[in-house]
Structure 1
Amino acid sequence: MNSNKPSTIDLVNRNLQKRYRAEKRFQIFGIASIGFGLLCLLVLFTDIVSKGAGAFTSHYIQLTVNLDPDDLDITDITDESQLALADYQGVVRKALRDKFPDVKKRGDRRKLYGLVSNSAGFRLQEILKNDPEKLGEQLTLWVLADDDIDTYAKSKNDAEPFTGRLNDKQIGWVNTLLDSGEMQSRFNRVLFTSGDSREPEMAGIRGALLGSLYTLLVTLVLSFPIGVAAAVYLEEYAPKNKFTDFIEVNINNLAAVPSIIYGLLGLAIFINFFGMPRSIPLVGGLVLTLMTLPTIIISSRAAIKSVPPSIRQAALGLGASKMQVILHHVLPLAMPGMLTGAIIGMAQALGETAPLLMIGMVAFIVDIPQSIMDPATVLPVQIYLWSDSPERAFTERTSGAIMVLLAFLILMNTIAVLLRRRLERRW
């Protein structure tokens, strides 16, 4: 008998230790993978927030303006044409000259006028339109600064402030206004109350937000009932044969089709064949409906399958019809999973850009849409447009819009999780 031969217990212990080491390595690899993913997510969010936080604030300049009828060239305040064509910019420029009386040269004055956004004139027009009695009065207003001025003021304390197209005199005027408190950083309401604009300081996301809302509304109204109906038919009524197997395979395949293909389909059918207008939320909602239907059908079928067969058998045993079993028992119990799938599908649709580019929702649209038939864009497309703009101020607006989009996506996914936990029943 060989005494050097390991015993069976030693072999078993050795194999167990080997397996434990392998499991430990696997756990370490898993934890490292999760940590790496979280680190990448943290870097991404940090980059977006650091670039986009400035979009939620903007610098305003205090001006004292005289709404002199002669300066405005208004003789009849009730005449809408005079009110629309009045020289509001001239009044704003005069207020700037009064603030810096030492500026005499024509070129310097042009640079001085560039401190204030063009929106100041529209602000005065809106004031007179809402309250004509203010004509002839002296008002103290806070008006938006130009985007270059705003960018410099935000980076003033950085190691290398962004001067852009500003000269030394403009920088000196800005520093004077900042030191005297006549230029202040305030919450940027324009970002949430205005539509798109060529001027960064006047650009907002309200039009894109409403366009996204109308588009998602059309998508939800169409995709959820159709998706649930299709799932009910396939699970409860459809016979198991080659035809239904073919349908199921194609539904699963459609869920993996690139989204731009749906855009091409919408362009060919809804716009070219049916002649529907481009760049309206109705067409965008139809395209996104086609894209989200496979996701909703698959999640709804999974939710219906999760309902125990005993529920159906008990209802049938009490004399309920097939439709009554489905409407009164199966659908209410499967609804949490269906709603979760629908919300996830809506979140996916909210972040889509490619299919909407194909149907013309990439157009530059300033007006705020009022219905699903008005030209509009959506938030992801608005981000795409701003990211392609050369002005430095659009960089923070782009990141700010991304933050708003991410907030909506996180909110929708949170609602889906809460709905599932609240309504889900365990068997």
Structure 2
Amino acid sequence: MTQTSEPLPAFPMPRPTPFDPPDEYAAVRAAGGLARVRLWDGRAAWLVTGYDEVRSLLADPRISADRTNPGFPFPTAGREALERSGRTFIQMDPPEHGRLRRVFTKYFAVKRIETLRPMVQEIVDELVSDLLAAGPPADLVPALALEVPARTICRVLGMPFEDRHRIQELDHRRNTLTTSPEDVRHATEEMLAYADALIARKQREPADDLVSALVADQLDGDTVTRDELIAAVRLLITAGHETTANMISMSIATLLRHPEQLRELRADPSLVPNAVEELLRYISIFHISPTRVATERIEIGGHVIEPGDGVIAAVAGANRDDTAFADAARFDPHREARHHVAFGYGVHQCLGQPLARIELQTVLATVLRRIPSLRLATDAESLSVKEYAFLNLTALPVTWEEQS
């Protein structure tokens, strides 16, 4: 990927609303599904927003996730510092990627994760009870959206409950697009040091949690090195709550903006799992990724991607493609949307998606049941998202009618 003087549109592009991808994504789809854009450092990359093109490229072995490749595209300087620090298996290519991913896959099998549903329900019930006891109004971002995945990942990994705020603060520094590269590196180093200390504690005092199991099964069994486990645990800590927290707030806001669909879900809670898939598609929380780099020449959509060209497979664009989802700009909880690419596609598809689904399903079903009069306490147009790697509402003010 080289410097270019071409008058290309800058990436990332601004969103017209917190709930809709940039208008340029549709224009790119109409022009064949991919087009060149300009990054912060002046280099050109391919922006891909067509559904078929995104899936094709993410499954193509000629596309690399290796962040050390000189052509790898980064949306900001801070994001480059983040993705070049603390290398994990999601930043590797086969066969190295497959070796490490297989180590962790069994711990996230659907049947195994399903056993966590009662624990997630307990966490959500406690938080909703606290909301009801305090009474309206409330901001659901700190009161619910951040707390559910944070408490869940503490329980799953065996982290001290009081550490959750420190982890949230560090992850926020790492993922805010405007954070300086130096601050990103410092936050990443702190998180890696935290993961190292957590592993050491589990070696001394093993318990019934995932990190203890990884130490006993993998580290003591010489399946992974200590550095590999430290990087993986850091990934599990951050991936385990950041994206899900933002999906919870965005999902509730989306439902409150669609009163007719909200009434249907309240009347028929069995629609919630399907509605979660539609919300994942409609929102596409990881809206400016995945990013990749070509290692060989690829012909696609009437264009030629050369070796070293950066590729931005924008799932937010692919999930709004009318050829894959009829009337894709419309939120429809009855839609069959499980073929969305919100969790990525191909060998790097999100490992933690079963847990994310359980948390989203549990939160929405519980809120719909226990706070039936929930509504926005402000105009939907006043809701805003931060300059963030994930769609991240700054606040979600709500109110409701107290029950006597």
Bin for the TM-score computed over the shorter chain: under 0.3
Greater Cα radius of gyration, structure 1 or 2: 1
**Larger RCO, structure (CA 8 Å, separation 6 or more):** 2
Larger fraction in helix: 1
Name the TM-score, length of structure 1 as normaliser.
Answer: 0.25
Name the TM-score, length of structure 2 as normaliser.
Answer: 0.26
